[in-house]
């Protein structure tokens, strides 16, 4: 009989033969999935993001910080096409491949980079800028490259390629990139609709040019890491409307990893299912 308590997932590792997982952990820090979104679906997502952007910033009385302009928070709440991306077989497989627990969505933002508008995406940054460098990784991003446009309001001005800047292997270093590492910066150029999958500690930035740009950024973490927005704006009523609390959608939104509201909910969880379930990493 063991004298140690057993923990679900504590000894769970990742297949060292998974080359893409090794890319994120000890390799260059990223890889590309080409042409994931067909052009017809890309146009739907384009239209949805611009519509949601207009709605989120239409009320001038909200006194929104200027740095928020172009940041479309939790667009899946208003778009079936974008919601379907979150629960696609590809995303579910990536979460299973790269995270130890039942990974959850940490942030889910659309990004519009408009010509002449201030934004911090052109600065070198990490999406998970913490001092903890872990193996297995605790976080990764799926950046949907939705294209460069001569006019962001006109889908027909979509360009053939979408460029982005990153620093390979920078997820392995503490603090800002050294001068020698910065010299290794790289510009990648992909077809619109492709996905850039990267370790969230990889240094990267939007490549500044004369075109306007559109992204969809979904970041996944182990469930014990707090979300950027609690449940990313969803509620139980919303989850029940579009799915159910036992679905992949609910799990990815963090519904299975909620701290109990109080002592009573901890000791007497609804339907005898704790809000923070086992197997969450």
* CATH code of the domain covering residue 65: 2.60.120.620
Q: How many structural domains is the chain composed of?
A: 1
Cα dihedral sign, 76-80-82-88: positive
What would the pLDDT profile of 233-269 be if each residue is shown by its tens digit? 999 899 999 999 999 999 999 999 998 989 999 999 9
What would the pLDDT profile of 162-200 be if each residue is shown by its tens digit? 999 999 999 998 888 889 999 999 999 999 999 999 999
User: Does the residue 233 lie in any domain?
Assistant: yes
Mean pLDDT of the chain: 90
User: Does the residue 1 lie in any domain?
Assistant: no
pLDDT of residue 15: 59
User: Does the residue 11 lie in any domain?
Assistant: no
Domain that holds residue 244: 19-272
96-98-103 Cα angle (round to 5): 60
Q: Cα 197 vs. chain centroid, distance in angstroms?
A: 9
Confidence of residue 125 (pLDDT cuts 50, 70, 90): very high
User: Does the residue 143 lie in any domain?
Assistant: yes
User: Does the residue 36 lie in any domain?
Assistant: yes
What would the pLDDT profile of 62-119 be if each residue is shown by its tens digit? 677 777 888 999 999 999 999 999 999 999 999 999 998 789 999 999 999 998 776 7
pLDDT of residue 100: 83
Question: Under DSSP, is residue 5 helix (H, G, I), strand (E, B) or coil?
Answer: coil
User: Does the residue 279 lie in any domain?
Assistant: no
User: Does the residue 59 lie in any domain?
Assistant: yes
Give, as one character, the DSSP assignment of residue 232: G
What would the pLDDT profile of 26-54 be if each residue is shown by its tens digit? 999 999 999 999 999 999 999 999 999 99
pLDDT of residue 11: 45
User: Does the residue 10 lie in any domain?
Assistant: no
pTM > 0.75: yes
pLDDT of residue 9: 53
């Amino acid at each position: 009989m063991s004298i140690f308590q057993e923990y679900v997932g504590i000894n769970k590792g990742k297949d060292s033969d998974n080359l893409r997982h090794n890319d994120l952990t000890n390799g260059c820090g990223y890889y590309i999935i080409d042409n994931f979104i067909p052009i017809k679906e890309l146009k739907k997502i384009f239209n949805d993001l611009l519509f949601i952007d207009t709605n989120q910033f239409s009320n001038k009385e909200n006194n929104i910080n200027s740095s928020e302009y172009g940041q479309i928070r939790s667009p899946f709440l208003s778009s079936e096409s974008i919601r379907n991306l979150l629960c696609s077989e590809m995303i579910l497989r990536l979460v299973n491949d790269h995270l130890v627990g039942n990974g959850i969505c940490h942030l889910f933002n659309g990004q519009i980079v408009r010509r002449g508008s201030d934004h911090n995406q052109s600065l070198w940054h990490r999406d998970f800028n913490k001092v903890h460098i872990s193996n297995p990784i605790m976080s990764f991003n799926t950046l949907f490259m939705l294209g460069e446009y001569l006019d962001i309001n006109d889908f027909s001005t979509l360009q053939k390629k979408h460029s982005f800047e990153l620093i390979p292997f920078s997820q392995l270093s503490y603090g800002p990139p050294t001068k020698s590492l910065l010299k290794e910066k790289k510009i990648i150029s992909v077809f619109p609709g492709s996905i850039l999958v990267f370790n969230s500690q990889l240094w990267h930035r939007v490549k500044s040019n004369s075109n306007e740009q559109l992204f969809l950024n979904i970041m996944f973490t182990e469930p014990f890491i707090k979300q950027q927005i609690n449940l990313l704006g969803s509620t139980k009523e919303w989850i029940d409307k579009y799915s159910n609390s036992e679905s992949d959608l609910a799990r990815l939104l963090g519904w299975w990893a909620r701290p109990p509201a109080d002592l009573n909910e901890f000791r007497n969880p609804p339907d005898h299912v704790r809000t923070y379930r086992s197997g969450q990493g």
